[in-house]
């Protein structure tokens, strides 16, 4: 866990926060400065930047290693400009591919970040290629045929296997959208999320998150467009019962979406 941020104090206060956002350094649609202005206008007092990390395979969505120092410099510049109006944090959403590439490796541990999000966006194909399974469904459908021989069970199992490996190796503070594979998987095979084996995989991961003592985010990005949160509301009570601390993050890629569906998530949580 990070020693620089006490997430507990922030979540127990009335201060508005968000620790998952993307800007010009990866696949965001605005500059960091523009995002800060939008966050201030929306009443946020704590804002974390979390660009998609450098990665060891080709990806248009991930930042380049050469840009890491520029990113950290920009966080510091914006801190000076905004003073005490808003607390800004240098985070990173780090992709887990294998034991050789994930949040726990030396490279990421030596970057002076305030916090780290660990996420799975890639699954290794049966031919040994790391494939991004996080895009839109039409892209996912084509990749299922091209890379995975239309074996959706294989893709889902590898997603959760990667997630469990990532949690066991540690090196991060927050696990990002930990059942996100369910979205594309359920479009590919309707009803898959209700199958006992699928639910068992999610619950296995929840138990591992609880044992690791890390935060789980409720990711609100897809609520307005796809009518779902990550993780699914089906698992929120189990997460709470397991004693897992929660952060509600918007995963904003655009300044107009800084608070996207967060109030709805808090309303649901208040009733559990």
Helices (H), 99-151: 106-110, 137-147
What would the mean pLDDT of 98-115 be, rounded to a whole number? 97
**Which positions ≥6 away from 40 have C-beta within 8 Å?**
82, 85, 86
pLDDT number for residue 1: 38
Asked if the model's pLDDT at residue 10 lies above 90, the reply is: yes
- The number of residues making up the chain comes to 272
Element (H, E) at 148: none
Asked if the model's pLDDT at residue 56 lies above 80, the reply is: yes
Which tokens is 137 given? 């469904």
Let me know: does 170 contact 208? Beta carbons within 8 Å. no
Dump pLDDT digits (tens) for 126-138.
Answer: 899 999 999 899 9
Which residue, 121, 132, 134, is CA-closest to 184? 134
Let me know: does 78 contact 88? Beta carbons within 8 Å. yes
* Gap between the Cα atoms of 221 and 261, Å rounded: 7
Whether the bond between 121 and the residue before it is cis, its omega within 30 degrees of 0, is no
Dump pLDDT digits (tens) for 71-83.
Answer: 999 999 999 999 9
3-state secondary structure of 17: strand
SS3 letters for 40-92?
Answer: HHCCCCEEEECCECCCCCCCCCCCCHHHHHHHHHHHHHHHHHHHHHCEEEECC
Dump pLDDT digits (tens) for 160-175.
Answer: 999 999 999 999 999 9
Asked if the model's pLDDT at residue 180 lies above 60, the reply is: yes
């Amino acid at each position: 866990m990070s020693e620089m941020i006490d997430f507990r104090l922030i979540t127990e206060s009335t201060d508005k926060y968000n620790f998952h956002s993307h800007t010009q350094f990866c696949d965001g649609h605005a500059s960091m400065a523009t995002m800060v202005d939008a966050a201030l206008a929306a009443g946020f007092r704590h804002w974390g930047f979390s660009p998609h990390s450098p990665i060891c395979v080709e990806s248009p969505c991930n930042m380049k290693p050469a840009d890491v120092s520029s990113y950290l410099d920009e966080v510091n510049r914006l801190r000076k400009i905004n003073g005490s109006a808003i607390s800004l944090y240098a985070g990173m959403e780090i992709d887990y591919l294998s034991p050789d590439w994930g949040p726990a490796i030396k490279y990421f541990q030596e970057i002076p970040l305030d916090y780290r999000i660990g996420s799975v966006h890639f699954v290794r194909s049966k031919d040994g290629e790391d494939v991004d399974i996080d895009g839109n469904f039409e892209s996912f459908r084509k990749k299922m045929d091209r890379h995975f021989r239309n074996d959706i069970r294989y893709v889902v199992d590898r997603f959760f296997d990667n997630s469990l490996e990532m949690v066991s190796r540690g090196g991060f503070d927050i696990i990002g959208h930990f059942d996100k594979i369910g979205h594309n998987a359920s479009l590919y095979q309707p009803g898959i999320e209700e199958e006992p084996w699928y639910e068992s995989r999610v619950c296995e991961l929840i138990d591992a998150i609880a044992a690791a003592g890390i935060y789980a985010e409720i990711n609100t990005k897809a609520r307005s467009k796809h009518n779902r949160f990550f993780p699914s509301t089906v698992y929120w009570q189990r997460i709470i019962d397991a004693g897992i601390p929660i952060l509600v993050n918007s995963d904003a890629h655009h300044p107009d979406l800084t608070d996207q569906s967060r109030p709805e998530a808090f309303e649901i949580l208040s009733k559990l």
